[in-house]
Amino acid sequence: MSTLLTILTILVSLALIAVILLQRSEGGGLGIGGGQGAGSFMTGRGTATFLTRATSILAALFMLFCLLLAVLNKGASGGQNGHDLLAAPPAPSQATQPSASTPVTPATH
């Protein structure tokens, strides 16, 4: 399941990159001139609306897949010493706490 989600995340991210690169920074869409060439199957406004909607959908899918991957891999060990980064911190051990049997006396000079 994790492998499938990873592959889907990569595909969605590549599609998101492609859709973003097709857009013009002024919002013209597809970067194609306004002539009656092969790119005139949609108006400039329709293309920009389509690309904006596609970007929104792909971004939402990308975030959803990333969250699902994080939840699925929550118990996986990682980081230094093989501990889980998302787990609760470990309880303090008794070696770090002073024992009640030995009183602590201040040093005098």
Question: Quick check: pTM over 0.85?
Answer: no
Residue 37's pLDDT is 46
DSSP 51-84: HHHHHHHHHHHHHHHHHHHHHHTTT---SGGG--
- Averages of pLDDT over runs of 10 residues in the chain (109 residues) are 92 95 68 49 67 93 94 69 62 64 68
Q: What is the pLDDT of residue 45?
A: 64
Distance between CA atoms of residues 44 and 36, nearest Å: 11
- The confidence score (pLDDT) of residue 36 equals 45
pLDDT at position 30 is 54
Q: What's the confidence (pLDDT) of residue 97?
A: 57
